[in-house]
Amino acid sequence: MTRSIKPLVAGNWKMNGLKADLAIAAEVAKGYDATLKPNVDLAICPPSSLLFTATAALIGSRIATGGQDCSTQASGAFTGEVSAAMLADAGANFCIAGHSERRTLHGETSATVKAKAEAAQKALLVPIVCVGETKDEREAGKALAVVRKQLRGSVPEGAGAATLVVAYEPVWAIGTGLTPTAADVAEMHEAIRAELGRLVGKQAAAGVRLLYGGSVKPSNAAELMNVANVDGALVGGASLKAEDFLAIARACAG
């Protein structure tokens, strides 16, 4: 954890959730009490069909919302796409860009991710730019090189603490129950901070929140959140259970 940075725990609901599931968000809001609010920020990224309703339901809770993806385009004949401005209009504060499922299943390149992050920033959203290596890349000793390359291609120029979040999600750990060792996470997050320093300047990079994602759960959250340069978590499956999500938040709050 970086002591000068207030941690962020963001829940990525992925393609899960109907109106009835907003009860999860309500439970999170109820548990986000006076002991947590000063020490950790929370955000929920529901499917776009629930974004406006979730945002409205969370008014007064100080829990932010975000989109899971956005178009590179501002508007136009792009059937099925959702623009960053539309997410902002629905009340979002954040937008995930370049999640490995988008990179893998939809063939998104780092150039596309950068364009989406820039679109998010233009709409006054904070992009959560995701990077991470595959199992083969880690076993081949290429993890650091892969992530540095993704950062160089994905991070908008001039981004800083108020306009960027970076999430390290090793692809092989997402949804598998596997996690890298604390030493591996420390090495990667240190490398990410250093690479950001080269991209946006050391002063700006020092304030960027670096999240860890990939099978984060209550049982491993405390260990992961105590790693240097880990400033919170991007949570998948555990964010669909209010108590698990709050337990991770408590681990971040210290």
Q: Which residues are catalytic?
A: 99, 169
Give the Cα separation of 39 and 249 in Å (integer): 9
Both structure tokens of 59: 């008014």
- Angle (nearest 5°) at CA 199 between 44 and 172: 50
* DSSP 8-state code for residue 91: T
The residues, any chain, with a CB within 8 Å of residue 214's CB and separated by 6 or more, are: 132, 168, 169, 170, 172, 173, 174, 178, 179, 180
Give the Cα separation of 175 and 215 in Å (integer): 6
Both structure tokens of 15: 């393609």
Q: Please, are residues 113 and 103 in contact by the beta-carbon 8 Å criterion?
A: yes
Count of other CB atoms within 10 angstroms of residue 240: 17
